[in-house]
Amino acid sequence: MLYIIGLGLADEKDISVKGLEIVKRAERVYLEAYTAILLVEKGQLEAFYGRPVIVATRETVESSSDEILDGADKADVAFLVVGDPFSATTHADLLLRARALSIPTRTLPNASILTAVGATGLSLYTFGQTVSLVFFTPSWRPASFYDRLAENARVGLHSLVLLDIKVREPDLAMLARGKIVYEAPRYMSASVAARQMIEVEEGVGPDDDMGRDAVEGRSEGVCTRGKLAVAVARLGSEGQKVVAGTLEQIASDEVERELGKPLHSLVLVGRRMHEVEMEALMDCAVDKTGWEETWRKEYNG
Amino acid sequence: MLYIIGLGLADEKDISVKGLEIVKRAERVYLEAYTAILLVEKGQLEAFYGRPVIVATRETVESSSDEILDGADKADVAFLVVGDPFSATTHADLLLRARALSIPTRTLPNASILTAVGATGLSLYTFGQTVSLVFFTPSWRPASFYDRLAENARVGLHSLVLLDIKVREPDLAMLARGKIVYEAPRYMSASVAARQMIEVEEGVGPDDDMGRDAVEGRSEGVCTRGKLAVAVARLGSEGQKVVAGTLEQIASDEVERELGKPLHSLVLVGRRMHEVEMEALMDCAVDKTGWEETWRKEYNG
């Protein structure tokens, strides 16, 4: 049996009791470590499980899935996923491959950022579709997320924006010289996300001092500097942080420092934000008066 | 400290390791049992925890919350919630009351139907806002859910429909005679949900043979009999069931029997359903050919 087991969001003790039993008895245990990370190191998981854990890279899962599935028709193999297995879409292939090999599978759900974001006080019933945002480069700035945000905004809904992480990316300069060297991992902060969102709204001029290619702004008013948003860091852990403010405030270096270590996510608030939601976030607002006034003028259900 | 702890979806072993440690050491343990149910009885939880569990009714939580919070400034009190604490909105009051009494609180997320629905093969990124549906009576048939479904449908998104449960409802006839007697618990099946959705679409004539008040249909084409939907039962447990079909098929007695025991939920599929999603559900379709043909004609991204 192939078990795909959600680990939850914070540390080694967020696994379910049922999941832990399977991990302890499985023949091999893999940890998927490229779409999200726990806030603890692999060693801490191994100490807690009392057994070794094999880190599965994107390459292993995508091109050597048969290695993971080897013998899973007879013995149990556990494939651990940070958060909830279904909240990351990338494992459908592994399930399909298992099915093709007649290997039975079972999935153990767990906490996901998609629902843990309720800890902000925002109502989960007021969220529209979830979007994801990748790191921009000077010449590659995919902006289809803006269309999704616009669709949610038209209905008045909140949008959860999931942020890019880059682990084990080959260093292209080194690769050109024939060496495979991996860059240091990078995790997008909520502040960088806010900057990118404003950039898509406003565009980039021809003489950009950051060397970016010029591009026209979308100018539909979805990600203007004054729009309200909520940044979260390390949600579901004891050290979680929530900061509420305008996109411009969240884009600032101060908020980036305050949020601290990864993982971050961002919510672009919808027009339907209820007074109770606004008030629940008051203590987290960069500027309490501004937060409430903007809400009264432009949101307010 | 007041701990609000998610129990996950199926049985006593879906609690996290961290949650179980708190339950074992807390001074009192409450179980909220009126917005959702686990698939096991209270006794099974107590045996697993090795301690008594107090069932918290809606009345206790809403009007005697100070009883639950009593002493929580000094000792630990655990308040257990089926699924994920934030996916049910009703506990915000308890948190606010704790804050007013300066009692520290902590919430432990867990699996929720909002993400476990990914087990159907539908992409969580294609879901719009979640709606809930209450039991209709002959004269009370609140239909605001239809507006939410219409908003999601316009964008082409899936809608997760959460279904009413009624536990500890006083028997009104007995109440009139001065006696408090509770009706047997009722859980809405996905088939009843589909029937109610069709009813709002089509309306009810003046000579209805089920004795319902006449009402005009909304006739916006959101919940017509031929719309595709996915019914789920006991999601997250080993005995989970998924049935895909038209609303009319899901409304049938045969599908109701096939789905079996509670809890059920329903997904109204959006126009953007991808081919991969359609194919993942093929094995669960009441009529495979019809499922695929309808998708090709009316959905197809």
Any A CB within 8 A of B121 CB: yes
| Owner of token pair 């192939």 | A2
List per-residue pLDDT tens for chain B, 301 residues long. Answer: 999 999 999 999 999 999 999 999 999 999 987 777 777 888 999 999 999 999 988 778 888 888 999 999 999 999 999 999 987 656 777 888 898 899 999 999 999 999 999 999 999 999 999 999 999 998 999 999 999 999 999 999 999 999 999 887 778 888 888 888 888 889 999 999 999 999 999 999 999 988 899 999 999 999 999 999 999 999 988 899 999 999 999 999 999 999 999 999 999 999 999 999 999 999 999 999 999 999 999 997 6
Determine the Cα–Cα distance for residues A263 and B301; give it in Å rounded to an integer: 32
pLDDT at A90: 61
What integer pLDDT is reported at residue B60 of this predicted model? 80
AA identity, residue A126: T
Instruction: Count the alpha carbons within 13 Å of B147 in the hemisphere toward its beta carbon.
Output: 4
Residue in A86, A110, A132 nearest the CB of B110? A110
d(CA A245, CA A227): 8
What's the gap in Å between the CA of B138 and the closest CA on chain A?
27
User: Is the separation of the CB atoms in A160 and A131 below 8 Å?
Assistant: yes
What pLDDT does residue A63 have? Answer: 81
A129, B52, B118, B295 from A92: Cα distances, Å: 19, 41, 10, 21
Q: What is the ipTM of this complex?
A: 0.91
Which residue from B265, B34, B224 is spatially nearest to B130, judged by alpha carbons?
Answer: B265
Residue B39 annotated as part of some ligand binding site? no
Contact (CB, 8 A) for A225 and A194: no
The pLDDT score that the predictor gives to residue A178 is: 85
Domains of chain B: 2-111 (3.40.1010.10), 114-298 (3.30.950.10)
Tell me which residue in A123, A127, A128 faces B89 most closely, judged by beta carbons.
A123
Q: Do B115 and A109 touch (CB under 8 A)?
A: yes
Longest dimension (CA), chain B: 63
Give the pLDDT of residue A38. Answer: 79
Q: Are A165 and A188 in contact (CB under 8 A)?
A: yes
pLDDT by position in tens, chain A (length 301):
999 999 999 999 999 999 999 999 999 999 987 777 777 888 999 999 999 999 988 778 888 888 999 999 999 999 999 999 887 656 777 888 898 899 999 999 999 999 999 999 999 999 999 999 999 998 999 999 999 999 999 999 999 999 999 887 778 888 888 888 888 889 999 999 999 999 999 999 999 988 899 999 999 999 999 999 999 999 988 899 999 999 999 999 999 999 999 999 999 999 999 999 999 999 999 999 999 999 999 997 6
Chain A interface test: which of B93, B124, B272 (most A C-beta within 10 Å): B124
Q: Do A118 and B13 touch (CB under 8 A)?
A: no
Residues in Cβ contact with A280 at an 8 Å cutoff, skipping those fewer than 6 apart = A120, A121, A122, B92
Chain B residues whose beta carbon lies within 8 Å of the beta carbon of residue A132 = 125
Q: What is the pLDDT of residues A62-111, one digit of tens each?
A: 888 889 999 999 999 999 999 998 876 567 778 888 988 999 999 999 99
B112 among annotated binding-site residues: yes
Is B13 near chain A, with CB under 8 Å? yes
CB burial of B139-175 (b: ≥16 within 10 Å; e: otherwise) equals eebebebbebbbbbbbbbbbbbbbbebebeeeeeeee
Shortest CA gap A11–chain B (Å) = 9
- The closest alpha carbon to A42, from A34, A24, A54, A25, belongs to A54
CA distances to A10, A213, B124, B276 from A206, rounded to whole Å, are 43, 7, 38, 41
Residue B40 has a pLDDT of 82
A281/A288 Cα distance (integer angstroms): 9
Cβ atoms of residues B228 and B282 within 8 Å: no
